[in-house]
Structure 1
């Protein structure tokens, strides 16, 4: 029996490790990534019987809680901030335009609250369906969908246009 559970856990770990690692890398300081991922899978091992059939959203939610708990100790009033990759060095005119747009988007992103950043990150970067993203945040699908819609509007307003940048408009559903 124990070896069956170990084998099942190993399968879950192998299948979802890279996704959890990417999820955490986008949100945490590089110095803490390994510890957060380890704690996430340790929690999964300890609460094995509670893992749903599709564990990916549960693992993301657990990683998020680990990060929030760690962050709470440092800054009680701020939530997880998603890091945005730096613009690459492209010297062409198109590259300069893309860089300017990216800087505008970074500026707009920073104007959003940490909660809005998290909602958009689950949608855009993690590609989670609404129901799974709601599970990560611990809210209903309807509440998540409403939050996502409002976040998109706030980002568009901060970006200085009537619509969000293309990647944010695409739906994971």
Structure 2
């Protein structure tokens, strides 16, 4: 049942919205439900010519894949935080596995330092640490040359390092003040 018109899609949406919503509510965190259902129907719209005669299972499968992608994103985000935290601990020598207080202090410092960075610096560091992209690949993502990306990464690392060396009170003040976008 390829969907050829907007009215046909509207009919499918109205017929299956509640079912998809219930399906997602039973499986996803409440704060993510609306986004997942929205992404599901966006995918349905984009692939409206591929929807089978009985769209309900297809929509459930699509919702499941959207949820899996969201879960992977959350795990990558957590992995990034852990990776950065481990890098920070090993880079400055503070905190060990046997010193939980120092580890917590280091994590708090890192979180404050990360929040105080400009979004451009966060993006460059995330592409390197989280996505583990090669310089050429990250440059493609950002739409710049490999040399420009490498320079941005070096500067972002340096700024993060300086913020990690700053006293905690100074970091808190930095993260609460409005940031200016870099002009790189």
Q: Decide which structure has the larger Cα Rg and report it.
A: 2
**Normalising by structure 2, what TM-score?**
0.40
Identify the structure with the greater helix proportion.
2
